[in-house]
Amino acid sequence: MLRISVLLQVKAIAVRKRNLSGVKNFGEAGGAAKTLVSLVRPRRPVRKVLMDAGERQIEIDASRTAVLVVDMQNDFMSEGGWFDVRGIDGRWALDLIEPINAGTALARGEGIPVVWLNWGVRADLLNVHPSHRRTIKPDPADPSYAPRMASGKGPVLERGSWGAEIVPGLVVGPDDIHVAKHRYSGFWDNELDSVLRNLDVTTILLCGINLDRCVFATAIDACNAGYDVVLLQDLTGTHSEQYCADASLFLVDRCFGFVSDLPSLAAGLRPPPSTAS
């Protein structure tokens, strides 16, 4: 019995050797020129920019920086949008359009990518968990994520809908990047992190609404993901009470990044000519 077992094993080895004798090593080109696949990712030269950030001065690399504009969309700001139907006046945020346009124009002129990050949920809400649906439906009469709003403007915050579109008046460049989210944070369960890493971004200039909600949550997760966060406080705001904004600014500055503004960014990117003789 042992002899038969040994003979079977020897025969099996011989068969395997015969089957593999004509197989090339994986990737072997058989004498032909090999195709070169470069995994080297081009990196732009470092461009140091100094910015005032409260009591500090910070230095960023403009070559590895992106502007991230959060939730400047119809459902939060426009007449007939979700907030408007719920009795929340979002018109205060219209005052941010001009300064954000100035900030994004400055960024584009300096070769800094602009990323628009807006709510955009699935039509079947399968990417919105029940506890979050409860949070944004504080009472039974609230429209929450209604299929259609009473205004007739369309579904609430649905990706591709009117409510998810960038509010009129904001200038969007042809090379700007658009990313949808379905959490307060822009970094959860979507492609934002991959997009930024493929752009070789390490610093985020953050702006948009609402400061104490989606902007703040995005700042925290950006920090946790290893990005350096600079919140442009004159390009952000919230409809919440002032203490909510104050607390958010305090915590970003203390824990999650830095707080600066557009004039400081502009001065760093385009410093005045030296008057030294």
Domain limits, the chain: 48-73+89-127+171-269
Q: Could you list the pLDDT tens digit for every one of the 277 residues in the chain? A: 555 554 556 465 554 555 555 555 555 556 789 999 999 988 999 999 999 999 999 999 999 999 999 999 999 999 999 888 888 889 999 999 999 999 999 999 999 999 999 999 998 888 988 888 776 666 777 767 766 667 778 888 999 999 999 999 999 999 999 999 999 999 999 999 999 999 999 999 999 999 999 999 999 999 999 999 999 999 999 999 999 999 999 999 999 999 999 999 999 998 877 665 4
Give ∠ CA 19-25-31 in degrees, rounded to 5.
115
Task: Report the CATH number of the 48-73+89-127+171-269 domain.
Answer: 3.40.50.850
Q: CB neighbours of 171 closer than 8 A, spacing ≥ 6?
A: 101, 104, 105
Q: For residue 261, give Cα distances in angstroms to 33, 48, 103, 158, 194.
A: 55, 17, 10, 32, 27
Q: Count the Cβ atoms, other than its own, within 10 Å of residue 265.
A: 27
Token readout for 232 is: 């442009």
Q: What is the pTM of this model?
A: 0.85
Q: Rounded CA gap, 35 and 185, in Å?
A: 42
